[in-house]
Amino acid sequence: MDLKEKVASFPKRPGVYLIRDGEGEVLYVGKAKSLRTRVRSYLRDGGDGRPHIRLLMARARDIDYIITTTEKEALILENSLIKKHHPRYNVELRDDKTYLSLRLSAKEKFPKLTLVRRIKNDGAEYFGPYSSAGKLRETVDLLHKLFPLRQCSDREFTSRTRPCLYHTTRGCPAPCMELIDQAGYGALVDEIRLFLRGRKQKLIERLKSEMKRAAEDERFEEAATLRDRLLAVETTLLKQKAVTHKPVDRDAIGVVREGAEAQFVVLVIRSGVLIDSRAYYFKNLDEDDGEIVSEFIRRYYRENRIVPGEIVIGSDPGEEEREVLEQWLAEKREKKVNIILPKRGERLELLQMACENGEKLLAERRRSKVGYETALEELRQRLSLPAPPRRMECYDISNIQGKNPVGSMVTFLDGFPDKEHYRRFKIKTVEGADDFAMMREVLLRRFARDSGGWEYPDLVVIDGGKGQLAAALAAMEERGAGQVPVIGLAKSRPIPGSEGLKSPERIFLPGRMNPLTPSKNSSAIFLLQRIRDEAHRFAIEFYRKSHRKEAVSSALEKIPGVGPQKRKSLIARFGSLKKVKGATHDELSNAEGIGPTLALEILKHLNNVG
């Protein structure tokens, strides 16, 4: 039985699928709301549009599945199987740091504070993790000065016959010798807990109240100790940077994309205070932003990390995926978790801060990999240009068998993305899957303008070979822009009969029979690959959004009385077919141009209500 026949028998139920090679090795593990629909998309010509899926399916020889009751169960099982098999085609979170956390053994009679590298489900309280081990150890040293809990091991604690040196020099209250009772020691534990949770005002008020009570009772030595502790706490808390007015636990996940590369930055906020920032770099990505954010969340929190009550993201993986992730995270946290896409306010400011850090990190990575002056000069020489191409535009077409075709234009200035001048084009005049005609339409429309942000570039890069280049060149000459340099950049491809070998990237020039084939270490080809990959990503992202809108519109088209304007109104108001289906009669009635009678008709058709 071939794979298509096998997959045709898969159930339309949630579950996990495992794609294997001829040796039975697991190449990829994925989850699906509908196993048959999801895996079938991999078996279409060209796969589901993602290059790494085409490579995966070229090696696939068998596909197994495991049914689950819910998508959340599928997510949990997927994570377990990825940990078990380490499939090469799954995106792994690469993190070369092992973070330290603080563990407070809260269930013990006399708890202590320790540094740990693994968070366990053992009933203890954990704070962190913290990326700087040095700073954390400084913090622990300060905590032991402010709140002198015991530091001895459990064995030392039970076998001690007299107070240790720590009691004499650092003020440990010596619970081992019963010099403090459980209630008095518990007060210290409560104070350190308030400190670590960032509840500064509550801690300060508590210390002031205890100090006043000790003074009134003429326990002046104890009052002086509390006074010193209060002063130290106030001084320390002043150094901490509050980023929110509320004592919330929150992670802000920012991502910056450039083509197939992505830089994630996670800002860790605990009790309203920014305590840490972590960065993760990925390459060879071809999913859209929402998909890679979903994948990142799954990988990031799959390990034994502390899950906060709020996770702020900037790219939407989709309402259903968010709900599944929230359920899974809530189960790990044992409390509710909200994944939030902010539109304004301090959450948006945090997200912007994370993205700004990501942009800087990605720029530093770029500069460390290649000098752009060198790359631009190399392009000038190889392409016989009059000057280095400081402003470059790249074009790509995205469609599946001619459906919902779109074109993208991305602009790079001095080797870096100039996102203000990115443009998108819906193909209007071409029927069927004619990439050459689509490219011609896009270039005709672009070069109909030459001002107001549409100034001519120093170089036009076309994603494709001779055919795409010829179509672009003809359109530019028709618009009187034939003097603008243009090249075609064709991807490397497998060499027939070789074991995994690929041809080099090829640069096609107008009027030249054979392409240029720069070495793979060329700084010029690296820059061209970046701009081509970014154009491809931008086109795919636009295609998927257009395709989703088309699906909603198609479902609404069948409803009598819902014309183009009313479909547009419903899409703008609700965004997805699921939200239209889930809307109440009143919510639909309030949409522009709908009204109570048509709202009832929409609900009947979409929900099969008689």
What pLDDT is recorded for position 314? 92
Comparing C-alpha atoms, which of 599, 572, 573 is closest to residue 585? Answer: 599
Residue 609 in this model has a pLDDT that exceeds 50: no
Cβ neighbours of residue 175 under 8 Å, at least 6 residues apart?
A: 110, 150, 157, 182, 185
Cα distances (Å, whole numbers) of residue 207 to 18, 203, 217, 226, 230: 58, 6, 15, 7, 6
Contacts of 597 (CB under 8 A, 6+ apart): none
The top-scoring range by mean pLDDT among 140-149, 173-182, 217-226, 235-244 is 173-182
Locate CATH 3.40.1440.10 in the chain. 3-85
> Pseudo-torsion of CA 347, 351, 356, 362, nearest 10°?
170
For the cut 50, the answer to whether the pLDDT of residue 347 exceeds it is yes
User: Does residue 186 carry a pLDDT above 80?
Assistant: yes
Give the CATH superfamily of 558-607.
5' to 3' exonuclease, C-terminal subdomain (1.10.150.20)
Q: Where in the chain do CATH 3.30.420.340 domains reside?
A: 372-541
What pLDDT is stored for residue 232 in this prediction? 62
Per-residue pLDDT band for 200 (boundaries 50, 70, 90) equals low
Q: What residues does CATH 1.10.150.20 cover in the chain?
A: 558-607
User: For residue 238, what pLDDT is reported?
Assistant: 44
How does pLDDT run across 499-538, given as a tens digit for each residue?
556 677 889 999 888 898 877 667 788 889 889 988 988 8
Burial 121-141 (b: 16+ CB within 10 A, else e): eeebbbbbbbbeeeebeebbe
pLDDT, tens digit, for every residue of 349-396? 889 888 888 888 887 776 655 557 778 888 999 899 999 999 999 999
Q: Which residues contact 486 (CB under 8 A, 6 or more apart)?
A: 459, 460, 461, 462, 469, 472, 473, 476, 510
Using the structure block, give the residue that is written with the tokens 């929409």.
602
pLDDT (tens digit, 9 = 90+) per residue, 269-297? 877 777 777 888 887 676 778 888 998 99
Which CATH number applies to 3-85? Answer: 3.40.1440.10
What is the identity of the amino acid at 424? R
Query: Residue 64: which H helix or E strand, with range?
Result: strand 62-67
Q: What is the pLDDT of residue 93?
A: 57
| Contact by Cβ (8 Å): 228, 288 | no
**pLDDT tens digits for range 540-566:** 877 666 655 555 556 666 677 777 777
Q: What is the pLDDT of residue 412?
A: 92
pLDDT at 205: 78
Q: Helix 182-196 crosses helix 200-216 at what angle (to 10 degrees)?
A: 150
Question: Average pLDDT in the 182-205 region?
Answer: 76
pLDDT in tens, 96-128: 345 677 788 877 888 888 888 777 777 788 776
Kind of pairing between the strands at 261-270 and 273-282: antiparallel
The per-residue pLDDT for range 487-500, each reduced to its tens digit, is: 999 887 766 665 55
pLDDT tens column, 310-335: 999 998 888 888 888 999 999 888 88
Terminal Cα distance for the chain, rounded:
43
CATH hierarchy code of domain 250-366: 3.30.420.10
pLDDT for the residue numbered 487: 94
Give the pLDDT score at 248: 82
pLDDT of residue 608: 61
pTM strictly above 0.85: no
Q: Name the CATH topology of 372-541.
A: Nucleotidyltransferase; domain 5 (3.30.420)
Q: Where do the CATH 3.30.420.10 domains begin and end in the chain? A: 250-366
